[in-house]
Amino acid sequence: MDKSEAMLAVAREAIVGLPTTAGKVTLCHADMRDFILPLREKPRIIAIPFRSILHLLTPEDIEECLRHIHANLAPGGKLIFNIFVPDAEFMAQNHNRLRLRSDYIDPATQRHIILWDLSLYEPTEQRITVYAITDELDDEGIVVRRKYRTLPLRFMYPQETRYLLEKAGFGIAALYGWFDRRPFGPDSREVVWIAERT
């Protein structure tokens, strides 16, 4: 599921090349805060990969998302998602710093592209605004085009996440500190939540 048709088009193309998923994938254009899955049976697992839940910018939006996941899951079904653990020191050090991310020749246009990013952290709002800046250079290295894109995110703390899950009718089945299932602890940078519809 994605609310972006462009992202679904990327997924549609990727699926074509994967024989194991042929005929087994239903792509769904919907908002995760308000959806009914177009499936005959309710799934036993719903996963939100790649920290995508952080695109929800208010606790109310997260509540709506969890409420719909709860309604769409089979009884006893699991919700699995990963998010990063907010790190105050990291945010303080990286606030408003321009970083070079990539320097490449665009295969479609043969143009020299330089990609930068910069993040603004607002701890009291639990907000991050990521600016992605793309410079297109001519043969002399002069910028002929600059494009800005912004990506707003909201970070979540573990206690808040647990509270919202329990309030939405989930129990915590497991909490991991990484994808290899190591336990979550004070040094964890990522957290994988496995919640169960109770």
Ligand X SMILES: C[S@@+](CC[C@H](N)C(=O)[O-])C[C@H]1O[C@@H](n2cnc3c(N)ncnc32)[C@H](O)[C@@H]1O
Strands across the sheet with 78-84, in order? 45-48, 78-84, 190-197, 170-176
Least Cβ distance, residue 54 to ligand X (angstroms): 8
Instruction: Rule CB under 6 A: say whether 27 interacts with ligand X.
Output: no
Contact string 32-61 vs ligand X (x = CB under 6 A): xx---------------xx-x--x------
Nearer to ligand X, 42 or 55 (CB): 55
CA nearest 160: which of 48, 1, 52, 53? 53
Long-range contacts of 87-95 (CB under 8 A, 24+ apart): 87/189, 88/123, 91/121, 91/123, 92/121, 94/119, 94/121, 95/119, 95/120, 95/121
Sheet strands side by side (includes 143-154):
99-105, 112-122, 127-137, 143-154
Using the contact rule CB under 6 A, the part of the chain among 1-9, 14-22, 119-127, 188-196 near ligand X is: 1-9
75 binds ligand X (CB under 6 A): no
* Contact window for ligand X (CB under 6 A) among 31-39, 77-85, 133-141, 165-173: 31-39
Judged by CB under 6 A, the stretch of 29-37, 70-78, 129-137, 162-170 that binds ligand X is: 29-37
Binding interface with ligand X (CB under 6 A): 1-4, 7, 31-33, 49-50, 52, 55
